[in-house]
Chain A
Amino acid sequence: MIYFDNCATTKPSENALKEFNKVNTELYGNPNSLNLMGVWAENYVTDCKKSLGNLLGVSHEDIIFTSGATESNNLIIQGVANQNKHRNPHLITQMSEHPSVIEVYRHLEKEGFDVTYLSINEYGLIDLKELESAIKKETILVSIMHVNNETGAIFPIEEIGKLIKATNSNTLFHVDGVQGFGKYILPIKNANIDFYSFSSHKIMGVKGVGGFYKRDKVQITPLFFGGHQEKSLRPTTVNVAGIGALTVATKEAFQNMEANLEQATKVKNKLLELVTDENEIYLNGTIENFSSYILSLYIKDVRGEVLLHALELSKKIFISTGTACNNGNNNVLSTYGYDKDRLLGTIRIGIAHTNTIEEATTLCEELLSQLEMLRLVKPNNKKRKK
């Protein structure tokens, strides 16, 4: 089995699982209980926050745990919007955000909030001048992702942060960090970030846990009510074991960041050999300023989903598509100006440092050999050669 869908989720690391097990065996108390078991659990969670704070370069008191990035993004965006409702606020995001961000903005827009969506250029990035002119006196929040989940485009977060604060010092800056967390250094303080969300299962932690950084003193309205956990922002019994696994996985990711990146880059470079005019395989985006962990390819005259199934059936190679078959809607790729054929013909390869060059070679070989068969059937609406 070859797993190349690491942007969707990853296999938990051995140490993360060990920690998960250990906490569930020995530290299963409720951190909010008055008894000693509760105290031990609470201390453990505080230690985890300290470790994460150190790695991210922020105070551990500013870290809030949630069920994952979707919840973090919802809590941040809705929390800021609702907190400032009475001021008739303006909000900004960009078109290629993850659904857990852009769908929240679309929801807020329906509720009557004023939202600006920045467009994406051919490099998968926003135009900073457009951002600057979009920021108004009433602009309360800007959400820009660190690394795009479909294509791997890396946004210049530090530059964006500086620009936002220089234009309006009251505007808050939210970064969805999921695809960059533990993979690329992002100095949160220097980049003027007020909110930074992350997830555990994308970096070999377990599913169902994540969190965010919230700059001290920024007030937001919670989504849930019913307890005082996580400063009343997230009232539910704390997922102690999940937090433990997240912390271990994060430590591993940060400690090995350079080596991991080097390995991912090697694998990506091997896969990039597929991109030739002769193969009629094209890169979505560019090589520069794109993450080494994500590769989005347009395969001409093949449906991405058909190729996906062909690879899993022949060699148990698991990849992802840009979009589901026949459903030409892809929020991200369509913002790049690609046509429907390109959206349907796109596959996404999610790379982890655990992937090897041999795996990449197998994928390349198998993909090319499948293509020969699959291209006999041209996707519909195309004239066949007689």
Chain B
Amino acid sequence: MKIEEINSKLNDYFIDHETQNVLLIKYGEIALRGGNRRLFESKLITNIQKNLKDLEGEFYIKKEQGRFILVNLNGDVDYDVVVPRVSTVLGIVAIAPCIKTISNDIEHIKKMSLQVFKDTYTGGSFKVVTKRSDKSYPLDSNEISREVGKFIFDNANEPPIDVKNPDMKLFIELRTHVYIFTKLIKTFGGLPSGSSGKGVLLLSGGIDSPVSGFVMAKRGVELVAVYFDSPPYTSERAKQKVVDLAKRLDDFTGTMKLYVIPFTEAQLHLYKNVPEEKLTILLKHTMIKIATKIADQEKAYGLIMGDSVGQVASQTMLSINAVQSATTLPIYRPLAGMDKQEIVDLATKIGTFDISARPYEDCCTVFVPKTPETKPKRSIIENIARRLEEELNPMIDKAIENAEIITF
């Protein structure tokens, strides 16, 4: 349905619903994007609707001067269920549970404001803030704030008013309809997923890679994740962990696809033909090669990896340089300069940490050399990779062909 159609349908609908609970959605950066703005707005609407599609209720999103109003055509919006779903969508800067009322009669506004105040007041001082886009309204913003503030003061046991530094603000917005709310919940911000094109994320079950995916998704990148499955050295539970991580990332993004690549054959081949201390680097080199082929297939323009410089042997500056020849695509490493604790904090915030922390360790560690090289020479790695190419390439193609593709 086109936005215009939705709006006209909503207008009919609003006539029947004098007052109801809606969700006010503020978006930031996309408002600045000139010509692309409409495209970005519709991406954002699609992404919000995707997160609500399995919920009960008929949700519509109404555009209203730089913000969206989410309404449930079957009644009120159930905030307990809807807020967690909408607050993850990237591109939104804040949301507010909000009362929408059609009559803009000042007496009615006072009554509704008092109700919202009583529902959310937890003590301390307060202030009323009014915004008015309807300039023909008989009262100006300050007058409305004063009238409503006095009404609340008189009818709610005289809570202290503090216009400079209040503990709580009650917002009244007069637009086509009147919106009243107190609690503005800050969300992740960023750009709507998909508004900056696609990237291929190398996703393991660890803490870092899902965070790196999130950080790039925040800049509007649509994610295609790749996981390297090496049974019997990796278990079904380790795979399930990655599927669950991808599913969590999907809450932030528009669409999400996960490629599960059967990697055992290539891994064993490398194990047999590569000096022990260089094995990890060449495994990584091969994984980047595979990810690049998937990027071609998916029309993606970059790879995303969770490297944090110096964290382990394969993440030194020299190691990162040594794997570069595997691709001509740019590799985004948004965690490169972050400390482990910063990454863990972010993982906790986006809800991937508990999944990553599940105790199913991969037996893939049998491939981890005791003393991996920390200063590999790029030219040597390139030489080995070239020497292996002839035998390895068919294995890579076969692995991609046999990949299991999971969508959410």
**A residues within 8 Å of B by Cβ?**
303, 305-310, 312-313, 324-327, 374, 376-381, 384
Contact = CB atoms under 8 A, between A and B. Distances in A.
Contacts of B232: 306-310, 312-313, 374
User: Which of the listed residues B272, B363, B367, B369 has the most CB atoms from chain A within 10 Å of its own CB?
Assistant: B363
Given A303-B366, A309-B231, 5 more contacts: A309-B236, A324-B361, A325-B365, A379-B366, A380-B367
Contacts of B367: 377, 380
B384 interface: no
A110 B98 CA distance: 52
Contacts of B235: 305, 309
Contacts of A310: 231-232
B361 A326 contact: yes
A71 to B, nearest CB: 24
A144 B271 CA distance: 47
Given A376-B268, A377-B268, A377-B271, A326 B231 contact: no
A43 B231 CA distance: 53
B359 A381 contact: no
A308 B268 CA distance: 18
B361 A327 contact: yes
Interface in B351-377: 359, 361-363, 365-370
Contact of A380 (B234, B268, B359, B366): B366
Interface in B256-288: 268, 271-272, 276
11 contacts: A303-B366, A306-B233, A307-B232, A313-B231, A324-B361, A326-B365, A327-B359, A376-B272, A379-B366, A380-B370, A381-B370
Given A309-B235, A313-B232, A381-B370, A325 B363 contact: yes
Interface residues of B, number: 20
B contact face: mostly helix, strand, loop, or mixed? loop
Contact of A325 (B268, B276, B362, B370): B362
B206 to A, nearest CB: 14
A324 B238 CA distance: 13
A350 to B, nearest CB: 19
A303 B231 contact: no
Nearest to B371: A381
Contacts of B369: 380
Given A324-B361, A326-B361, A377 B231 contact: no
B366 A306 contact: yes
Contacts of A309: 231-236, 363
B363 A305 contact: yes
Contacts of B272: 376
A326 B362 CA distance: 8
A309 B231 CA distance: 7
A165 to B, nearest CB: 43
Nearest to A309: B232
Given A313-B231, A313-B232, A384 B365 contact: no
A385 to B, nearest CB: 11
